[in-house]
Amino acid sequence: MAGLRAKQKADKTRRILESATTLFREQGYDSARIEDIAEMAEVSVGTLYNYYQNKGDILVATVAMEVTEVLEAGTRIVANPPLNVAEALRTLIEQYYDHSLFYLSKEMWRTAMAISIQQPETPLSRRYTELDAQLCAQVVQLVQTLQTRGVVHASIDVQVMGELFFNNLNMMFMEFCKVDAMPIEELKARVNAQHEPIAALISTVKIV
Amino acid sequence: MAGLRAKQKADKTRRILESATTLFREQGYDSARIEDIAEMAEVSVGTLYNYYQNKGDILVATVAMEVTEVLEAGTRIVANPPLNVAEALRTLIEQYYDHSLFYLSKEMWRTAMAISIQQPETPLSRRYTELDAQLCAQVVQLVQTLQTRGVVHASIDVQVMGELFFNNLNMMFMEFCKVDAMPIEELKARVNAQHEPIAALISTVKIV
DNA sequence: GAAAAAGATTGAACGAGTTCATTTTTTAAG
DNA sequence: CTTAAAAAATGAACTCGTTCAATCTTTTTC
């Protein structure tokens, strides 16, 4: 039976990820010890290290799941956005933000972002960066769609504009994660306040 | 002599910072061991920990120096900027970028940014965040000055616009630090390519 | 100037992530 | 079914950041 090993491997990969995510959420990333994660996943410490390069990689794997789901949901919004620049942006971005705390706590996000910055050459950090690029591409795509449908002025460089929006929403998300007390509604309000005037600038439909 | 202790303390603080910076640059942040830093600074490990809370704090102290100098140089530019939006932005931002690798390597920046994200409640991380806010305020101030001098359209919200530029230049700097191979000229070119069209949008002087 | 109090220094011990030589389990070959 | 080879699992040992009780130095008090 060639499938036995493969099945066991997949099972262990999943068990480790689930145990880690549970403990990260329960006690925080730093307090969750590798030994405990291994025990909960019913493997030895050494085995855990056969499946993930290091502690951070386990976390980044969870982030990758999160972002993948967000990207998928975003595709639907981009395919058929509200035909109003500010509203379209708001819809997509609020979807990102609302999903962001589904699997991950703010502390987990902070750690994941920190890892992806500090060790950008790790395979899973590369993956994080790549997912980030996909999110950015999605925002660009939204602006592109809005331009094609005639609600964004034709002279606008959609690539530049999309990157600007994305860098801004990403940076604001970082600030959000840094302040435990900030509610997600405040993040949304702040980002919206920044994007609305820009949206007005590039919109063909001028509000009187 | 009441000054003996104070003098010795100042001297040790400096020696530790210098030793650490040297070793961080030479061998990278992770490879530079606290024991080696202490030995180079001619203090014991325990003493080092009386002067800095942890390894990261030593690094953030260097960053604070760097940013303080950059802010000061920026003040002069903001006081008397080129009367052209794109050029003014370019001048200020290139000054930031050119100074950025004076004391710190890319790897040191990455670590510092990672720390300030991951442990935002540390005193020195707060300091980092505060310096960031000052940089942002400086960019806002530049846009404000340009508006006062009539080169930025009066309808523009300078706060929003400045934050947008800052978040963008900051994010782009992060990306720059993540890619060891990227030269600073490429960073400048990319950021300029993003800011130029926006500058044109908000400028009173339209280019034909 | 001696004794007491306050401040500073020290390095051995501790904890947690990571490694790797050894052992166990699974697969493939005859 | 037996045996050899490959793959996976194991946990004790190692590393390095960090702590803290004991010691030493400086300052203050009388």
Confidence (pLDDT) at A207: 53
Q: CA of A111 vs C1' of D2, distance in Å?
A: 52
Confidence (pLDDT) at B7: 80
When pLDDT is averaged across residues A53-59 and rounded to a whole number, the result is 95
Residue A112 has pLDDT above 50, yes or no: yes
A81 and A9 in one domain?
no
A125 and A42 in one domain?
no
A140 and A73 in one domain?
yes
> Best interface-test mutation with B: which of A118, A129, A163, A201 has the largest number of B CBs within 10 A?
A118
Q: Please give the residue of chain B at the shortest CA–CA distance from A192.
A: B160
Instruction: Using DSSP, state whether B149 is helix, strand or coil.
Output: coil
A26 and A128 in one domain?
no
Distance CA A41, CA A45 (A): 10
The per-residue pLDDT for range A89-103, each reduced to its tens digit, is 999 999 999 999 999
Confidence (pLDDT) at B207: 53
The per-residue pLDDT for range A153-166, each reduced to its tens digit, is 999 999 999 999 99
ipTM: 0.91
Domain that holds residue B98: 56-202
* Percentage of chain A exceeding pLDDT 90: 89
Q: Does residue A178 lie in a domain region? A: yes
Backbone angles phi, psi at B203, to 5 degrees: -80, 145
Confidence (pLDDT) at A121: 87
Distance CA A65, CA A72 (A): 11
A176 and A124 in one domain?
yes
Confidence (pLDDT) at B206: 64
Residue A1 has pLDDT above 50, yes or no: no
Residue A146 has pLDDT above 50, yes or no: yes
Confidence (pLDDT) at A208: 47
A10 and A83 in one domain?
no
Q: Please, are residues B115 and B122 in contact by the beta-carbon 8 Å criterion?
A: yes
Q: Does residue A190 lie in a domain region? A: yes
B84 and B24 in one domain?
no
Q: Does residue A208 lie in a domain region? A: no
B184 and B162 in one domain?
yes
User: Which residue ranges of chain B lie beneath pLDDT 50?
Assistant: 1, 208
B63 and B39 in one domain?
no
Domain closes at, from A26, A52, A78: A52
When pLDDT is averaged across residues A73-88 and rounded to a whole number, the result is 97
B187 and B160 in one domain?
yes
* Percentage of chain A exceeding pLDDT 70: 96
Q: Does residue B36 lie in a domain region? A: yes
Q: Which nucleotides in chain D lie less than 7 Å from some protein C-beta? A: 7-12, 16-21, 26-28
Q: Which residues of B touch A129 (CB under 8 A)?
A: 178
Mean pLDDT of chain A: 94
Confidence (pLDDT) at B121: 86
Confidence (pLDDT) at B3: 64
DSSP state of A206: -
Number of domains observed in the structure of chain A: 2
Q: Please, are residues B188 and B94 in contact by the beta-carbon 8 Å criterion?
A: yes
